[in-house]
Amino acid sequence: MAARDYGQYDGVSRALELVGERWALLIVRDLIVGPRRYGELAAGLPRIPSNVLAARLKELQAAGVLRRAPHSRIPVYELTPYGRGLEPIVLALGAWGFRALGEPREEQVLTPDALTIALRSAFRPAVAAALPATAYAARLGAADLLIRVTGDVLAVQRGEGQADLAFATGPGIRLLLSGEVPPERAITTGLVQVLRGPSELLGRFASTFHLAA
Amino acid sequence: MAARDYGQYDGVSRALELVGERWALLIVRDLIVGPRRYGELAAGLPRIPSNVLAARLKELQAAGVLRRAPHSRIPVYELTPYGRGLEPIVLALGAWGFRALGEPREEQVLTPDALTIALRSAFRPAVAAALPATAYAARLGAADLLIRVTGDVLAVQRGEGQADLAFATGPGIRLLLSGEVPPERAITTGLVQVLRGPSELLGRFASTFHLAA
DNA sequence: CGGGATCCCTTAGGATACTG
DNA sequence: CAGTATCCTAAGGGATCCCG
């Protein structure tokens, strides 16, 4: 079970032995958002083979990164405190990789958990603190995300809810986050479709969340 | 050449496509310390197959993470500015993986570049700022590291030089960095052998560099 | 001699079907 | 729904060889 090792006595090597296998950090990414069942993980990682998902879950469990939640009849996976230590690393990796995102290709998907992580790494607490509390409802395909910004605190959860601004979007939201397309043009070009609420609030959204291109 | 992709339009996935292949981040780790030649990289990664090293260098070059240094007859690899963006991530990964390091096994090596990165992730600028400037010479097998702390600035370079304290060490230095073994005992037990200078300075070293176990 | 390229073999990962 | 089982391909491991 011990992952192939690098033969080095070093923290980076050890970290990569624990979470460096293919798909491992994407599983961690989704579990950062919240506990997930096997099928939810599989749905969030559409191309992962079932046997590989099962293998990774076992390895990550053995590594102390995640565990099956106790006191629940049905199997649910969640990060351990040690695994939660990866959170800033995954967020930083996301911000770094964001800069290398090109145009979305047809076969690429944008999952709710991935967008949640992107929003968390794009969140600018200092900017948000100076703005009034705001709730956004983002529709992503069939999924809904409720994004609440209160002072310098961000909360993202799945599902609908009371929101000041509701909009539907897709991969094109990247251009809004990077500032390559200003909010007004994001609406006129259809990158973002406002469903409810004053469309000016999209400007507030864009200044609250920003990632360098 | 395009690395196998994850089929997701997401920063984390993209980052892993660029630097998630086996060995890739260890190459980056060593290049964070400084530009390296092919043979130096191979020496710092004793178990990497030559074909894999060559393949990774090409992929990382295509990904814009590193390049062959211009204006040098001999090939030298160095990080691009974009690749240097991985520095805080690699340091954080090193700190995270450090906590999962067990006892060193016989076949595991500790290379100068890996120790350099470990020291950088263990460095506590706030503590160092309150201490007098100090230079340490660490001997690691046949290699020498000159560690200079000046105010809240750390500089680590290979080779010998003027130092206030010179010591020889090995993998056991982990117990000193984690605080599991106090400086005096590190000396009496032989984890660290003082070669020159007042051994009290090892206490200063231990408070300047710290990683949680 | 440093900097790779080429072999061959082993094993992890992808695709898909199947089971408790 | 939560995984196993199987089969196949492609990437990694290891040694050697080649070239400027």
pLDDT for B161-208, tens place per residue?
A: 999 999 999 999 999 999 999 999 999 999 999 999 999 999 999 999
The reported pLDDT for the residue numbered B198 is: 98
B73 C-beta less than 7 Å away from strand D: no
The reported pLDDT for the residue numbered A2 is: 54
Residues A14, B107: C-beta atoms closer than 8 Å: no
pLDDT for residue A18 is more than 70: yes
**Residue range B89-126, pLDDT digits in tens:** 999 999 999 999 999 999 999 999 999 999 999 999 99
pLDDT for residue B1 is more than 50: no
Which residue would you say has higher pLDDT here, B1 or B96? B96
Q: Domain map of chain A by residue range?
A: 11-85, 106-208
- Residue A191 pLDDT level (bands cut at 50, 70, 90): very high
Determine the distance between A50 (CA) and D4 (C1') in angstroms. 9
Which CATH architecture fits B11-85? Orthogonal Bundle (1.10)
What's the number of CA atoms in the CB half-sphere (13 Å) around residue B190? 0
A106-208: in CATH 3.30.1050.10: yes
**Residue range B20-42, pLDDT digits in tens:** 999 999 999 999 999 999 999 99
Average pLDDT of the residues of chain B: 96
- For A156, list phi and psi in degrees, rounded to 5: -120, 130
- Nucleotides on strand C with an atom closer than 7 A to protein CB? 2-7, 12-17
% pLDDT > 70, chain B: 99
The reported pLDDT for the residue numbered A1 is: 36
Contacts of B94 in chain A (CB under 8 A): 10-12, 15
**Residue range A156-176, pLDDT digits in tens:** 999 999 999 999 999 999 999
- Residue A71 pLDDT level (bands cut at 50, 70, 90): confident
The residues, any chain, with a CB within 8 Å of residue B70's CB and separated by 6 or more, are none
Q: How far apart are CA B95 and CA A81, in angstroms?
A: 15
* Helix or strand holding residue A97 (H, E): helix A87-98
